[in-house]
Chain A
Amino acid sequence: MASESNHPPSSPMLARSASPVGAGAASGTARESKPLLPPDACPDAIVDEILALLGEERFRSARRLAEEAIARFPEHRRVRNAWTIFDTRGKARVTSGGPEPDTDEEFEWLRHPPEWARGKWVALVGREAVAAADTLAEVLETLRARTFPKRPLVHRVD
């Protein structure tokens, strides 16, 4: 994760004097205990600020802002959406479905692809390219019309 100190504010969106979320978030010097949001903060403006901070790779400031925003506006749609960026709890679930066949052969093919495959999307089943085209859409269309012993692994070979 990039250090925030390596990325000083540069975006006009982060002009702190006009920031809808207060000067602390912008300068990166706010104390942890000091709220970033003024009492009249607008939730849409906060989300815009979070996204601007992310664009500057200032994840810590963005997260802190998001934490305050979700605490104050838990029902606001855009705030809730923005909070999903930072809320990592319970987001991974073991799901149904058994183990899938290994793709050792497909990987071996990808290690040494034939020259004709350069620049194409390919679908592999074992060591066989069962579809290949310039676009992914064409490959998927080809796959729709056929059945295979296992799901083809799809990749673009540049």
Chain B
Amino acid sequence: MIERDDLLDGSEEPFVTAASGYLDAHPNFEDPQPRIYVKFRPAGAKNPYVALLDTGAHYCVLAREIADSIRDHLTESIGETIFRTAQGLVRGDLYAHTVTLLAERGKPLDIDSVLFISPDWQAPSFLGYVGVLDRMRFAVDPRWNRFYFGPLR
């Protein structure tokens, strides 16, 4: 039997600090896909966007046009690298940049992330493991389409 304290890591703090709804279908795909799209806002943007939550992706990728819209807010590139995708190799740059996960319950979460940005990227944005998901806690409630998140403890 798991005790309540086991789930709190010995502290009284909750596992996460916020929750938001997520989209599990996407107009880009004709058939329903077992995918999760969450709301985020890169620093420098005023409006929220939707990104695929992808634990299997090595990087967090910002859609090209979104990256263009916040170009003035990007700092110096970390460097150029290659991203291997199902569609082939994509060359782009890595940037340290803050993204915010928007909360419908609790408080938003700012994440000092690493984003892959490429002029050749044609797909939507997604939040991969390296750069965003590896620096936060998260959980999913598929019954209510809720995405729970918070900082690492």
Is the A/B pair a real complex? yes
Instruction: Assess whether B78 is in contact with A85, with CB atoms less than 8 Å apart.
Output: yes
* Complex: chain B residue closest to A108, CB-CB: B23
Q: Which of B39, B124, B152 sits near A92, CB closer than 8 Å? A: B152
* Complex: chain B residue closest to A78, CB-CB: B79
Q: For residue A8, give the distance in angstroms from its CB to the closest CB of chain B.
A: 14
Q: How many chain A residues touch the partner (CB < 8 A)?
A: 56
* Complex: chain B residue closest to A98, CB-CB: B107
> Could you say which residues of chain B place their CB within 8 Å of the CB of A4?
none
* Complex: chain A residue closest to B111, CB-CB: A92
Instruction: Assess whether B109 is in contact with A91, with CB atoms less than 8 Å apart.
Output: no
Instruction: Assess whether B78 is in contact with A84, with CB atoms less than 8 Å apart.
Output: yes
Of A15-23, A30-38, A47-55, the one touching chain B: A47-55
Instruction: Assess whether A93 is in contact with B65, with CB atoms less than 8 Å apart.
Output: no
Instruction: Assess whether B112 is in contact with A84, with CB atoms less than 8 Å apart.
Output: yes
> Could you say which residues of chain B place their CB within 8 Å of the CB of A50?
79
Q: For residue A36, give the distance in angstroms from its CB to the closest CB of chain B.
A: 18
Instruction: Assess whether A55 is in contact with B81, with CB atoms less than 8 Å apart.
Output: yes
Q: How many chain B residues touch the partner (CB < 8 A)?
A: 56
> Could you say which residues of chain A place their CB within 8 Å of the CB of B81?
51-52, 54-55
> Could you say which residues of chain A place their CB within 8 Å of the CB of B106?
94, 99
Assembled-state Cα–Cα distance A123/B50 (Å): 11
Contact flags (1/0) for B13-38 with A, using CB distance below 8 Å? 00001101111011110000000000
Q: Which of B23, B25, B28, B102 sits near A100, CB closer than 8 Å? A: B102
Of listed A54, A90, A111, A123, residue having the most chain B CB within 10 A: A54
Instruction: Assess whether A57 is in contact with B84, with CB atoms less than 8 Å apart.
Output: yes
Q: Which of A47, A89, A158 sits near B152, CB closer than 8 Å? A: A89
Check if A129 is an interface residue, CB within 8 A of chain B.
no
> Could you say which residues of chain A place their CB within 8 Å of the CB of B69?
136-137, 140
> Could you say which residues of chain A place their CB within 8 Å of the CB of B100?
95
Of listed B68, B78, B151, residue having the most chain A CB within 10 A: B78
Residues of chain B touching chain A, judged by Cβ–Cβ distance below 8 Å, are: 17-18, 20-23, 25-28, 39, 46-50, 58, 63, 65-66, 68-69, 76, 78-84, 94, 96, 100, 102-114, 124, 129-131, 134-136, 150-152
Residues of chain A touching chain B, judged by Cβ–Cβ distance below 8 Å, are: 1-2, 47-48, 50-52, 54-57, 59, 78, 81-82, 84-85, 88-104, 107, 110-113, 117-118, 121, 123, 135-137, 140, 143, 151-158
Contacts A97-B103, A110-B23 given; 13 further ones with Cβ under 8 A?
A51-B78, A51-B80, A84-B114, A90-B152, A91-B112, A95-B107, A97-B107, A100-B104, A103-B21, A107-B22, A140-B47, A143-B46, A152-B47
